[in-house]
Copies of this chain bind each other. A is one copy, B any other.
Amino acid sequence: MSIANVAIIGLGLLGGSIGLAVREHAPAVTTRGYDRDADVRKAAQKRGLVGTVCDTATEAVAGADLVILCVPVGAMEEAARDIADDLAPHAIISDVGSSKESVAQALARALPDHTIIPAHPVAGTEQSGPEAGFASLFTNRWCIITPPDGVDQAALDALSAFWTQLGATVEIMDAEHHDLVLAVTSHIPHLIAFTIVGTASDLEEVTRSEVIKYSAGGFRDFTRIAASDPVMWRDVFLNNKGAVLEMLGRFTEDLTAMQRAIRSGDGEALHELFSRTRAIRRQVIAEGQDDGRPDFGRKDHGDNA
């Protein structure tokens, strides 16, 4: 089984990057795309995100071997229902959502007779929309595939080969475990960043302009994550509620312990934690998951000079 025609539904950061990555790494594969927003379709056309930008989802999926839904996880079921009648019988239906159990259930409800193999490329930036995608987004990133029980092995192999071609390294995982892992490595960090940025911009004693002015002390890093797409992230939290609440509970327990250490002047407890976390950074860099240069190697532009 080989994938010659791919349909991409949703032409934002992820959908657009898949289209561009296919053009670069798998030029023999044809791509058709659709987005329900006419402006996004126009921008996708202009940037050449896919071979053919279609005016309907029906048109985009006709004859596709692989359909990838690149919409917020809360919109997956509706997007799947829209194409249900027009899918080729052999088509593989996949997605790029950040939570996997709820998506698997939504797609199974909408397309009970099709081959559904959810996936999650662990890649992205804080930007979104049809202008944000780029061909190398998946290069050296992980793509976690969460196949259902009894999956068609040939279909799974074809999907894995597709992601490998785009530059990703494929990992197979249980959907439930995926949701717990991503709650820790992605969802809670985002929730915390959104929250602290909200807190800081809403104080009486410190003005918003002071917060922005002195953000280089650490806060600016959180603003990047807190600039991520609001609809995408709303849907992630609503659809991975169990794992997020569980991990949030662990975090607040630990934060309360730190609060107590500060209040009681327990320098040893603080030092013990702060020494331990340094080692994690070294491992992240050693495993190629981040840029090891100080400050991520970013340039300071300094328009405030």
Binding site for B on A (CB under 8 A): 74, 98, 122-127, 132, 139-142, 144, 169, 177, 180-182, 184-201, 203, 205-206, 208, 210-228, 230-231, 233-235, 237-238, 241, 244-245, 247-248, 250-252, 254-255, 258-259, 262-263, 265, 267, 270-271, 273-278, 280-284, 286-305
Contact = CB atoms under 8 A, between A and B. Distances in A.
A254 B217 contact: no
Contacts of A228: 274, 278
B305 A216 contact: no
Given A184-B200, A200-B184, A305-B140, A280 B226 contact: yes
A74 B203 CA distance: 28
B142 A214 contact: yes
A291 to B, nearest CB: 4
A303 B287 contact: yes
B194 A277 contact: yes
Contact of A185 (B132, B205, B217, B248): B217
Contacts of A226: 274, 277-278, 280-281
Contacts of A294: 125-127, 132
Nearest to A221: B221
Nearest to A173: B210
27 contacts: A122-B216, A125-B295, A126-B281, A142-B214, A181-B210, A185-B211, A185-B218, A192-B255, A193-B218, A195-B251, A195-B254, A195-B273, A198-B273, A201-B280, A208-B283, A211-B280, A215-B289, A223-B284, A226-B274, A230-B274, A234-B271, A237-B262, A245-B259, A290-B298, A291-B299, A295-B296, A297-B297
Closest 7 pairs (CB-CB, A-B):
A140-B302, A186-B217, A288-B303, A227-B281, A230-B274, A125-B294, A189-B218
B238 A267 contact: yes
B303 A216 contact: no
Given A140-B304, A184-B199, A296-B298, 12 more contacts: A141-B216, A186-B218, A192-B196, A193-B218, A199-B251, A201-B277, A201-B280, A203-B250, A234-B270, A237-B262, A248-B255, A290-B300
A185 B219 CA distance: 5
Contact of A217 (B98, B193, B234, B304): B98
Most chain B beta-carbon neighbours within 10 Å: one of A218, A273, A304:
A218
Contact of A184 (B203, B235, B282, B303): B203
B199 A287 contact: no
A206 B181 contact: yes
Contacts of A273: 194-195, 198
Contacts of A224: 221, 281, 290, 295-296
Contacts of A286: 303
